[in-house]
């Protein structure tokens, strides 16, 4: 068993351990829980978010025990790296790994629960979302800041950026689902563009992002748009082809 706790004056360590121990029978389910399960708990007036990762297959059980860091540990460590770099993410509290000599059994990542006004997904699905252009441009600047700091958020997809509107009318961005990241001294142009290609299938949104990215980076807008749109269409093609294949393979369901 491995339990790593980041001291938090509002959340006692014992309370967190008790929540993990009672995870299966207590708490409020957040999301559909099809792969990983997230539950919310109240501790001293603060909402705690605990993510239980899907039990790995036999090979990964061994890999996560002896050769690789678990998803829970990576989520915790990457959250701290993001905060050290001034990048928003819900405050990390702890991670827990339950294992035997045969390998990892289950693991949990604990963080403060962040209430947001929207995610990037709303910008994709609601064309007339209020202040959409402003949010999209500020999000693009946020993404450029990630790239400047050498942070490659490999799950940079519509549901993984939480967005809060501030009192001043600007927007703050917070990353979630953190277990896949890479950190670079510098990020080449193609890597930066590929990092953005999963966000939207809409050409007009790619055009706005390309325009704003060009403003902050000084790179040619035409090159940004051409590269990003090509990578976007390629990703969408692979995504829907994979979806169709899964449907065929599971035709009996």
Summarize pLDDT for 147-187 with one digit per residue, the tens.
Answer: 999 999 999 999 999 999 998 889 999 999 999 999 999 99
CB-based contact 186:150 (threshold 8 Å): yes
Task: Decide if pLDDT at 146 tops 70.
Answer: yes
Name the residue among 170, 157, 158 with its Cα closest to residue 126: 158
Residue 160 CB neighbour total at 10 angstroms: 18
Please list the alpha-helical segments (H only) found in 25-97. 58-66, 71-84
Give, in degrees to the nearest 5, the angle at Cα 28 between 24 and 30: 105
Distance of alpha carbon 185 from alpha carbon 155, whole angstroms: 20
Q: What is the pLDDT of residues 177-220, one digit of tens each?
A: 999 999 999 999 999 999 999 999 999 999 999 999 999 999 99
Q: Phi and psi at residue 14, in whole multiples of 5°? A: -60, -35
Q: How many residues can be counted in the chain?
A: 253
Q: What is the pLDDT of residues 47-106, one digit of tens each?
A: 999 999 988 777 878 888 888 899 999 999 999 999 999 999 999 999 999 887 888 888
What residues pair up with 2 in beta bridges, in sequence order? Answer: 97
Task: Decide if pLDDT at 5 tops 60.
Answer: yes
CB-based contact 140:207 (threshold 8 Å): no
């Amino acid at each position: 068993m491995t339990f790593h706790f980041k001291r938090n004056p509002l959340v006692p360590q014992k309370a967190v351990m008790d929540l993990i121990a009672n995870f299966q029978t207590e708490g409020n389910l957040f999301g559909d829980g099809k792969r990983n399960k997230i539950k919310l708990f109240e501790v001293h007036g603060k909402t705690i978010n605990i993510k239980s990762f899907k039990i790995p297959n036999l090979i990964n059980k061994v890999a996560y025990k002896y050769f690789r860091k678990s998803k829970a540990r990576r989520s915790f460590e990457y959250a701290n790296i993001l905060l050290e770099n001034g990048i928003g993410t819900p405050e990390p509290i702890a991670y827990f790994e339950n294992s035997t000599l045969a390998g990892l059994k289950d693991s949990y990542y604990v963080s403060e629960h962040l209430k947001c006004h929207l995610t990037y997904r709303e910008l994709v699905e609601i064309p007339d979302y209020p202040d959409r252009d402003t949010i999209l441009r500020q999000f693009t600047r946020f993404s450029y800041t990630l790239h400047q700091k050498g942070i490659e958020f490999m799950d940079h997809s519509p549901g993984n950026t939480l967005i809060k509107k501030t009192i001043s009318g600007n927007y703050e961005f917070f990353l979630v689902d953190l277990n896949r990241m890479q950190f670079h001294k510098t990020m080449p142009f193609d890597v930066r563009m590929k990092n953005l290609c999963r966000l939207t299938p809409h050409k007009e949104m790619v055009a706005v992002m390309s325009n704003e990215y060009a403003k902050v980076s000084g790179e040619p807008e035409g090159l940004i748009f051409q590269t990003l749109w090509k990578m976007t269409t390629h990703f969408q093609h692979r995504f829907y082809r994979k979806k169709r294949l899964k449907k065929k393979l599971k035709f009996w369901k």
